[in-house]
Chains A and B, each alone.
Chain A
Amino acid sequence: MASIILPGPRRGLQDQIGRLHWPLIIMLSLIAGAGVVTLYSVGGGSWSPWAGTHAFRFAVSLGVMIAMGFIAIRYWLALAYPIYFVALIALALVPFIGDVNMGARRWIDLGPMQFQPSEMMKIGIVLALARFYHGIRAEQVSHILYLAPPLVMIGAPVGLVFLQPDLGTAIMIGATGAAIMVLAGLSWRLIFLGGVAAVGGAIAAFRFGILHDYQLKRIFTFLDPDSDPLGAGYHLLQSKIGLGSGGLVGKGYMMGTQRELNFLPEMQTDFIFTIFGEEFGFVGAIGLLLLYFAVIMTGMNIALRARSHFARLAALGICVTFGLYVLINAGMVMGLAPVVGVPLPLVSYGGTVMLTIMAGFGIVMSAHLSRDPDGASF
């Protein structure tokens, strides 16, 4: 079976395992470990309800990542459009068969597990755009004929996710798509025009009431946190208190008072970085951010050493998604970005996001394993 999927001459399984990018695996495991440790504290010093599940999910997701890494990059190339379309169809179906949760319809119930098509789309958009730019020449990238397909590919899922409504994910998908277009070599003139269009779109969203009240409120609160200190601004203030009172080395593991006293909502997901920063302080929080930085640099390094254009763009796209998660979540809990409900990758509790991210790194791993010249010439 290995012969079908592994590139190049047959190798022993042991050899394959040895070729895995172990530093990447170790760093991802460290980050997930930080998540388990923090979730144990959030759970009040208990493996349930979060820490144990989180650890188990990471183990499974790590297996998925390695398995996906063993699939040669050319197969991912072949699967790129199908994956994108499956995700797009699922997204389109969400309004009809999805479950409503907290006012938004995002989930599809698949019996034992729930499935969030918007998460699959985060991988799908990367693969599809990478596939697209893989197939055209450099000078065609900025050509008017070749602009429409990527814009439609980005616009369709962004629109569907926005309607769920899930502003955070819509922004993430849109930004990731835009980043891949830039990476693919879009001319600066078009980048500038795109930027203007994005700003114009944002203004239009405000002006014509496309955004929901709670979305507007979050954004206004972000712009002026003191406007509603007991309402929408309350959680942000409590988050800053949590982080700030952590100081240099933190209050100590399981000693966070903001955590203990339930001043924050969604501590296990959106605000987990606050808890981490409260208990481990500046040293711990910077350490975690550096770990993320290292993961992204490693991912980019793998991307740039890949031999196919698809592998490069796909791996870079995954890094962009991952980086956006980190920046938006960290910015959000510190008052640098609106509270839009983006989790901290691998640390926040949540199975689908974890699987998405590890699947993404599976593609990166695939790019890594496929760099071998004797298997990667298309």
Chain B
Amino acid sequence: MRVNSNDPEKKEVVTRRAALLGGGFSLLLAGVGARLFQLQIADYDKYQRLAQENQFNTRIIAPLRGEIVDRFGATLASNRQNFRLLLMPDEAGDVEAALERIRRFVEIPEDKHARLIREINRTRGFAPVEIVNNLEWDDFSRINYELPHLPGAHPEVSETRNYPLGNATAFVIGYVGAVTDRDLEAPDNEDQQLLLRQPGFKVGRDGLERTYEKELRGVAGAMDVKVNAHGRVIEEIDDSTRPPVQGETLGLTIDADLQLAAMKALEGESASAVVIDIETGDVLVLASTPAFDPNIFTKGIPTDLWRELNESPYKPLLNKPLGGIYPPGSTFKMVSAIAGMRAGVSPSFRVRCNGKFWYGNRFFHCWRKEGHGSVDMRSSLKLSCDTFYYTLATQLDVDLIADTARKLGLDQTFELGIPGQHSGVIPDRAWKRRFYAGTPENQTWFPGETLSVVIGQGSVSATPLQLAVMAARIASGKEIRPRIVRFRGDLELPIPNASRLDLKEEHLNLAREGMYAVVNEPGGTATRSAFDNRDWKLAGKTGTSQVYRITNEERARGLTKPEDLPWARRDHALFVCFAPYESPRYACAVVVEHGIGGARMAGPKAKEIMTAVMTKDPARLKPLSPGALAQGADSVRRG
């Protein structure tokens, strides 16, 4: 069939339809044009703003953490340059392979490796991750040289926390550690998210670093940067920089020299020592041994070290001066003596000690089996005669003893700013009711229990800090409150106003005289702790608190000497003291765990520490004033 290819009818249809199609196309194209108008003209401002936001980003500049200095400006916590290596997971591509390449230059332990992978997964690969820090300069420069072969690797110099005194200040200052999810969620940190998410940013984990986190952290600076679609910075806009503000300097009452001296005196023991300036309440020494090195903790605690510290019987993670509680033993006898006088017992009241005291249905033993003979109140302290106090106990109400103890600083915590303080226990009737709340039949206070309380045993317990405060209060007659922060930033913190104690001066004075006799009179329990310099007079009290009672069976086997017991069952050794006796300025408490005897173990260490204190006599020296560091920080720090 032959078709007329130029059939006019076909041409007519096509022309008509083409016109329709052309019209339709024109309409659609007009629609496109209208949309273009909407985007480019009508909504221009909106998209212009979005484009700007796309282009610019704010980069956080982490502030330097505030320094912590001792009372004379010696650095206790500062910032040190830290060479570290970051990894941008999205640049690295295969993260495992990238880590493998980096491992050729620096060591990454297996557990750290696993932690890194977890962190990269958590941040979904968008945030840089710190691979290693505190690199040696040699390693750091080698990595820089090999950088072209390490995609995603970013070497960086940052600041890291440094504690020059190491373990000596571990329990005062604490340490800083990596930011956790809990930190991010804390309400205080709501506006700090960007800063906290900076790679390697650290926050205070313990001690003053933790308590004063807000003050020490400082204020983040910022800089506008031009970024590309991947968030990579391609230009820094210098004139947009808002510089960061360093955190406030924390000025402590601690004396670094004396702190080190105390650490040295306690070395090898599980012990603590506290020295307080009696006038001001300034804590000069707060020592705890053994201690950990916060410089290691700041880098991330290796698992095996953590386990070792946790499992050690010497409890190197326990802040013993604040959190260690011990039966005060005979150091409690000043409290009992003062309570006795408050109850109307005369200082001249005499007791005949023959080594044991019958009460109820059993004997209470004096520490001296042979007895002390005739003992008055003053010599009861000097000789630490238990029989005297057993007798006193029969005339005393336990609530009055407890009240006296509280007046002298026991059974309470103080506002030091260091977490982990324990209040200890001073038993009285109310305490017993609370303690046995579930079993009313056990709530009655028995007079026999008071016999344990007067010699600082039974349920009585106190922290070394409380014992030092007790010595300071006895010596001064004032309600001394310890403090450890002198100033923060430019703000000098006032010395707490110490009112007079609600105790009679003559009662306190007898306790002081007794303590003087302990050290300075023949027959005193701590005569070997007298200062070598005879011009200085120390007044003190020994204490030996029983940890384990030797059974009759053990006694029968010939086990009588405490040295024969395993370490953990030996008695604690305690000593509280103040000096100089005539015009008391420094109070001190030393507790040596399982040190067998206060006179043997704690007294000599207290003497060593107090000799250092008396020699330096820090109260005589002008402490650093808040503004001084800002002007000549370097010179002061070295001085």
Please name all residues of chain B whose beta carbon is closer than 8 Å to the beta carbon of A137 when the two chains form the complex. Answer: 3, 7, 10
Do A378 and B36 form a contact, CB below 8 Å, given A247-B44, A248-B41, A293-B29?
no
A358 at interface by CB-CB < 8 Å: no
Asked if A312 and B14 sit within 8 Å, CB to CB, the answer is: yes
If over half of A's interface residues share one DSSP class (helix, strand or loop), that class is named, otherwise mixed; here it is helix
Q: Does A297 sit within 8 A of B, measured CB to CB?
A: yes
In the complex, the answer to whether A248 meets B51 with C-beta atoms within 8 Å is: no
The answer to whether B29 touches A303, judged by C-beta atoms less than 8 angstroms apart, is no
Task: Give the CA-CA distance A133 to B41 in the complex, in Å.
Answer: 46
With a cutoff of 8 Å between Cβ atoms, the chain B residues found around residue A179 in the complex are 21
B6 touches which one: A282, A320, A378 (CB < 8 A)? A378
The winner among B29, B55, B234 for most chain A CB atoms within 10 A is B29
> When chains A and B are docked, how far (Å) is the Cα of A317 from the Cα of B13?
15
What is the 8 Å Cβ interface bit string for chain A, positions 326-356, against chain B (1 contact, 0 not)?
1100110011100000000000000000000
Interface of chain B: mostly helix, strand, loop or mixed: helix
Residues 292-316 of A contacting B (Cβ, < 8 Å): 292-293, 296-297, 300, 303-304, 307-310, 312-313, 316
Q: Are A313 and B14 in contact (CB under 8 A)?
A: yes
A residues near B9, Cβ cutoff 8 Å: 138
Contact across chains for A336 and B32 when beta carbons are under 8 A apart: yes
Give the residues in chain A near B22, CB-CB below 8 Å.
296-297, 300
Q: Min CB distance, B456 to chain A, in Å? A: 67
Residue of B18, B39, B46 with most partner-chain A CB within 10 A? B39
- Known A-B contacts A135-B3, A244-B43, A289-B32; the reply to A320 vs B21 at CB < 8 A is yes
For A183, the chain B residues whose CB sits under 8 A away are 14, 17-18, 21
Kindly list chain B residues whose C-beta atoms are within 8 Å of the C-beta of A133. Answer: 10
Given A243-B47, A262-B229, A297-B22; A309-B14 close (CB under 8 Å): yes
* A172 proximal to B (CB < 8 A): no
User: Considering the complex, which residues of chain B in the window 3-45 have a beta carbon less than 8 Å from any beta carbon of chain A?
Assistant: 3, 5-7, 9-11, 13-15, 17-18, 21-22, 25-26, 28-29, 31-33, 35-37, 39-41, 43-44
Q: Which residues of B contact A326 (CB under 8 A)?
A: 29
Most B Cβ at <10 Å: residue of A264, A303, A323: A323
Which chain B positions have C-beta within 8 A of A304?
Answer: 14-15, 18
- Across the interface, do A336 and B14 meet the contact criterion of CB distance under 8 Å? no
Shortest C-beta distance, A242 to chain B (Å), equals 7
Contact B51 A241 (CB under 8 A): yes
Q: Does B230 sit at the interface, judged by CB under 8 A?
A: yes
Contact A327 B35 (CB under 8 A): no
Say yes or no: A289 contacts B29, CB within 8 Å.
yes
Given the contacts A184-B14, A262-B230, A257 and B54 also touching, CB distance less than 8 Å: yes
The reply on A286 being an interface residue by CB < 8 A is: yes
Q: Given that A244-B46, A334-B32 are known contacts, is A185 also in contact with B14, CB under 8 Å in the complex?
A: yes
Answer yes or no: A285 CB below 8 A from chain B CBs. Answer: yes
Closest to B53 in A: A241
Contact residues in A for B35 (Cβ distance below 8 Å): 331, 334-336
Instruction: Say if the beta carbon of A245 comes within 8 Å of chain B.
Output: yes
Question: A263 interface residue, CB < 8 Å from B?
Answer: yes
B560 interface residue, CB < 8 Å from A? no
Interface string of B55-70 (1 = CB under 8 A from A): 1000000000000000
Q: What per-residue 1/0 map shows which CB atoms of B202-229 lie under 8 Å from chain A?
A: 0000000000000000000000001111
- Interface assignment of B189: CB less than 8 Å from any CB of chain A: no
A-B contact list, 25 entries, CB within 8 Å: A182-B21, A183-B21, A184-B10, A238-B54, A244-B44, A244-B51, A245-B50, A247-B48, A248-B40, A261-B54, A261-B226, A261-B228, A277-B36, A277-B40, A281-B40, A289-B36, A300-B22, A309-B5, A327-B29, A330-B32, A330-B36, A331-B32, A335-B35, A336-B31, A336-B35
Using CB atoms and an 8 Å cutoff, list the residues of chain B in contact with chain A.
3, 5-7, 9-11, 13-15, 17-18, 21-22, 25-26, 28-29, 31-33, 35-37, 39-41, 43-44, 46-48, 50-51, 54-55, 226-230, 234
Known contacts A247-B44, A261-B228, A282-B41; 15 additional CB pairs below 8 A are A135-B3, A135-B5, A184-B13, A238-B229, A244-B43, A245-B50, A247-B48, A261-B227, A262-B228, A263-B228, A297-B22, A309-B5, A312-B14, A316-B14, A378-B5
The 4 A-B residue pairs with the shortest CB-CB distance, nearest first, are: A244-B47, A245-B51, A185-B13, A282-B40
